[in-house]
Amino acid sequence: MKREYVAPEGLLEILNEKLYELEACPDWKFRKPPHGPKKPDANGCNWSGIVDIEGPCTECGPTLRRVILWARERYNLLPGQTNL
């Protein structure tokens, strides 16, 4: 699947929108864009799957991972864009 390029802030918005759509963890949110861009990994994704999240419980881990994996298959960060 060809990935769409987005700015870090756009990727953060996409992650939070997808998480909100699932309605499984309404009190969770992604706080900062993932780190990148970096050299694409073996799957072609150029951003880290480790993200800064905020929420009240530990039961949402599988849902958060599902959202991250979904986004890593579809989006790459724009080259030359950085997030601090």
Residue 46 lies in a domain: yes
For each of the chain's 84 residues, which pLDDT tens digit applies? 799 999 999 999 999 999 999 988 888 999 999 988 899 999 999 999 888 999 887 788 899 999 999 999 999 999 876 654
Q: Omega of the bond prior to 79 within 30 degrees of 0, cis?
A: no
Residue 31 lies in a domain: yes
Domain that holds residue 54: 4-77
The whole-number pLDDT of residue 59 equals: 84
Total count of domains within the chain: 1
The whole-number pLDDT of residue 44 equals: 95
The whole-number pLDDT of residue 81 equals: 62
Residue 84 lies in a domain: no
Residue 33 lies in a domain: yes
